[in-house]
Amino acid sequence: MAKARTTDSADTRSDVEPVGLATLVASLDRCGIPLLGPKVAAKLSVAVGAHAGCRASEATVEDLLAVVPLRYEDRSNLRRISDLEPESDASIDVTVELAGGYPVAGGKFRIFEISGVDATGKIRAFWWNQLYLANTFKIGTRAVLFGHWKRNRKGVLEVENPEYEVLPADDSESATIHTGRRVPIYRKFGEIRTRQLRRIIHDVLDRLPDGAVDETLPADLVRSRRLASRDSALRHIHFPEAGDDLQRYASSTSRAHRRMIYEEFFWVALALSARRSERAAQPKGPCFEVDQRVRDAVRAILPFKPTGAQKRVLREIVGDMTSSKPMNRLLQGDVGSGKTIVAVQAMVVAIENGYQTALMVPTELLAEQHARTIKKLLAATGYRVELVTGSMAAKRKRELRDALASGDIDLAVGTHALIQKGVAFSKLGLAVIDEQHRFGVVQRSELIRLGLSPDVLVMTATPIPRSLAMTVYGDLDVSVIDELPPGRTAVTTRVRGEDSRRKIYAFLDDEIRSGRQVYVVYPLVQDSEKLDLLDATAMADHLQREVFPSLTIGLVHGRMKPEAKDEVMRRFVSGEIEILVATTVIEVGMDVPNASIMLVEHAERFGLSQLHQLRGRVGRGSAQSYCILLAGNKRTTEARERLAIMEKTTDGFVIAEKDLELRGPGELLGTRQHGVPAFRVGNLVRDRELLEAARTDADLLLGPRRRTKETAACLERLRRMARFRQAAVG
């Protein structure tokens, strides 16, 4: 990398002092790099910290170098003025002949303009409201300009707000940063401008001696995967050289990109592999046995003949429960596939072995529904099943806590109240966690610590693409129920606009008169001044008074008291309420076979997986069911694509893959607390091949044929990567 430097007006330094290796791990406010004065370092630390997922005070120079460009511009081909073509992007080397500023448009705006020349002609360049450039562009100054060139009415070639680079007056060799090369373009980065960030990163890399960046991967992996060295990758990913294929940089498939992507995936994969190894080495807590008595108890609770997929998954779960290693299994199944009955069967195995069990869910509403369902299933067994939620009266909470501690409760269903201070189980043998993606790894760990190393079964009705499951649930074994119970009917899905509202209401009326029930879902509970959306509260009143005055309409949302919600749900389940108006609180857990229509208002505002979950509330009986997605006319291209996918398929895994592609893992699962690593370079959809390779290599590194020295070095580095480990493993 060239050590001779060009200068901007803000930096007239001509010498370059190399930095030591320690600078890479130094915090940005104490690294000693001249361009990073106190104010700039403070702003940069905040932005880099947010990008790296750490506090500003912990942001390092190495974290800064991990801020990869969003895209690149080829400004390397210097043209002569006579060769410039109108309506083209190009760089030229000119000398300033005239410069000055003047007001326009009645004095509201000011323009700074220069006239530049080379041996072949003259151009005009101007900037809006940047009169400070008078200090940069003195007459006689030599500069490189890059921008989109046009010919004005006078026939003169001109450029508006061009990028620029002032060249040294002594005509010495110089390495331009912003022009005359392949230039990195960074996304908005806090209070730091792209030009400023580019210069800072160039300055850091320029001061690092060649080879100063330590290699972090085992040498044989770098060789076998034909990866660039870390030093080379970090330099080239920011500033590609003249001979590099810029198209590969634009598509993130350059050698530099592949190295950085693999590295990201490798450390996450190694963390998850290490976690699996740690859990496998843990002493087995509960020791379950399955004899004929237990088998009979499990069969006795079944309300229907299980599907082949349910039988297979139960065998996998019971196999874990009776093995010598703790169970840590993810149970995936589309909406209505029968995960709950499988989980209850596993809980019966634990209870028959003398252990307590717990089912933890994200909302009180879902906990109430699960408790009601499970009590009905186990009514003839004599097991004590109790609901534990945060909204219960203090006296009732004390009673339940005493019963849990004494072992009187066999099966506890609850929310986060199950892991609050003061809760203790006598002998917790199996913990089942429903809708895990809504919790996060912290709550999962807390529940596990309440028992004697209980077996853990994690359930989700949100189909998770394999690539995402490898990172979010990579420390768990996976079972999939890929078969729906008999009697479930395919749901017909249609996207409709506001002009179809009357016809939709007429269709709802016909279905209700035929004895069916209807869900109507809105994105808001109450009207918002910021959003022009229909809300559930107002629309429930409108539907009751003006559209369906002779019908019974109920309203349920997350702000209601549990007793009120429970009463509305009870009346809907019993058929007293014909139309249930709701927010997404009914997204999971509701099972009303008589409900045949799901009408989603403002469907363009929901994600694919959320729409799929809502659609899963209908089609649970023998009657033909429908999902109507009523969308506003102002739909983005992405919204149109989402809605079209819903019409094409009911396969939850196909939908989840597309949702991952459209929105990314963080959006798909919710927030960063859910344990999804915030990858800086890698993309789970685009880079699946590298993800698979990294996971294979990580597993081999910790496998039976491990090389002690390399494995120890990698695990030690993993321990030092505290922030990454917390994000990846929890």
Which residue would you say has higher pLDDT here, 444 or 424?
424
The pLDDT of residue 23 is 58
State the Cα–Cα distance between residues 166 and 700, nearest whole angstrom.
52
Largest CA distance in the chain: 98
Q: Where are the alpha helices (DSSP H) in 527-636?
A: 536-542, 562-574, 608-615
User: To which H or E segment does residue 469 belong?
Assistant: helix 466-472
- DSSP per-residue codes, 133-200: GGGT--TT-EEEEEEEEEE-TTS-EEEES-EEEEPPTT----B-SSSSSEEEEPPPBTTB-HHHHHHH
Quote the pTM value. 0.66
- Candidates 343, 349, 341, 311; CA nearest to 329 is 343
423 φ/ψ angles, rounded to the nearest 5 degrees: -90, 130
Flag whether pLDDT at 81 surpasses 60.
Answer: yes
d(C-alpha 419, C-alpha 403), whole Å: 15
Q: Please report the pLDDT score of residue 248 as a whole number.
A: 93
State how far the Cα of 141 lies from the Cα of 168, in Å rounded to an integer. Answer: 9
Asked if residue 159 has pLDDT above 70, the reply is yes
Residue bearing tokens 């074994």: 477
Query: Average of pLDDT values for 390-408?
Result: 91
Residue 638: Cβ-neighbour burial (10 angstroms; 0-12, 13-18, 19+): exposed
- 601: three-class secondary structure by DSSP: strand
Nearest by Cα to 29 from 11, 44, 13: 44
pLDDT of residue 125: 95
Between 573 and 558, the higher pLDDT residue? 573
> Percentage of the chain surpassing pLDDT 70?
84
Domains of the chain: 17-70+186-212 (no CATH), 73-184 (2.40.50.140), 311-481 (3.40.50.300), 491-649 (3.40.50.300)
Tens of pLDDT along 291-302?
999 999 999 998
Look at residue 590 in the predicted model and tell me its pLDDT. Answer: 66
CB count in 10 Å sphere of residue 209: 13
CA–CA gap between residue 18 and residue 208 (Å, rounded): 6
Beta strand 595-601 with 517-521 is parallel
More confident residue, 1 or 475: 475
Residue 499: the pLDDT is: 92
Any idea how long the chain is? 730
Of residues 203 and 465, more confidently modeled? 203
- Per 3-state DSSP, what percentage of the chain is helix, strand, and coil (rounded to 5)? 45, 20, 40
Alpha carbon distance 174, 156 (integer Å): 30
**Enclosing H/E stretch for 722:** helix 722-729
Q: What integer pLDDT is reported at residue 668 of this predicted model?
A: 47
Task: Using pLDDT thresholds of 50, 70 and 90, give the confidence band for residue 182.
Answer: confident
pLDDT the model gives residue 543: 94
Look at 600 and 207; give whichever has higher pLDDT. Answer: 600
For residues 456 and 326, the answer to whether their CB atoms sit within 8 Å is yes
**Chain-centroid distance, C-alpha 62:** 23
Lowest mean pLDDT among 262-266, 431-435, 459-463, 597-601: 459-463
Dig out the tokens for 662 from the structure: 């459209």
pLDDT tens, 223-276? Answer: 999 999 999 999 999 999 888 898 999 899 999 999 999 999 998 888 888 877
Find the radius of gyration of the CA atoms of the chain: 31
Provide the pLDDT for residue 587.
Answer: 57
pLDDT (tens digit, 9 = 90+) per residue, 63-75? 888 889 988 988 8
| pLDDT tens digits along 13-62 | 334 444 444 456 667 766 667 777 788 888 888 888 887 777 888 788 88
**For the residues 451-455, what does the mean pLDDT come to?**
74
Q: What is the pLDDT of residue 442?
A: 52
What pLDDT, on the 0 to 100 scale, is given for residue 11? Answer: 39
HSE value, Cβ hemisphere, 13 Å, CA-based, for 317: 32
The model's pLDDT over 638-671, given as tens digits with 9 standing for 90+, comes to 889 999 999 999 888 788 778 777 766 555 444 3
Q: What is the tens place of the pLDDT at every residue in 510-547?
A: 999 999 999 999 887 655 544 455 688 888 999 999 99
Q: How far apart are CA 22 and CA 33, in angstroms?
A: 12
Strand-pair partners of 86 = none
What are the φ and ψ backbone dihedral angles of 500, each rounded to 5 degrees? -100, 5
Judged on CB neighbours under 10 Å (0-12, 13-18, 19+), 680 is: middle
Q: How far apart are CA 191 and CA 171, in angstroms?
A: 34
Strands laid side by side in the 411-414 sheet: 385-388, 411-414, 356-360, 428-434, 455-460, 328-333, 477-481
* 683 burial level (CB within 10 Å; 0-12, 13-18, 19+): middle
CA distances from 394 to 242, 390, 402, 414, 423 (A): 71, 9, 12, 15, 13
Q: What is the per-residue pLDDT for 440?
A: 47
Residue whose structure tokens are 């149970």: 331
Mean pLDDT taken over the chain: 83
Average pLDDT over residues 552-580: 87
Residue 304 is given by DSSP the state S
The model's confidence at residue 97, banded by pLDDT at 50, 70 and 90, is: very high
Can you give the pLDDT at residue 167? Answer: 83
Q: Supply 603's token pair.
A: 């469907």
191 versus 407: the higher-pLDDT residue is 407
Q: Mean pLDDT, to the nearest integer, of 109-118? A: 92
| pLDDT tens per residue, range 314-370 | 999 999 999 988 888 889 887 778 889 999 999 999 999 999 999 998 777 778 888
Task: Report how far apart, in Å, the C-alpha atoms of 126 and of each of 28, 99, 112, 145, 163 are.
Answer: 35, 10, 6, 11, 11
Is it the case that residue 725 has pLDDT exceeding 50?
Answer: no
pLDDT of residue 570: 83
The whole-number pLDDT of residue 714 equals 86
Q: The tokens of 180 are what? A: 């005359």
Q: State both tokens at 102.
A: 């003047």
Assigned token pair, 330:
């993810």
Residue 676 in this model has a pLDDT that exceeds 80: no
Cα–Cα distances in angstroms (integers) from residue 609 to residues 107, 460, 615, 646, in the given order: 53, 12, 10, 10
* Percent of the chain's residues with pLDDT above 90: 39
For residues 149 and 88, the answer to whether their CB atoms sit within 8 Å is yes
CA distance 55 to 632: 41
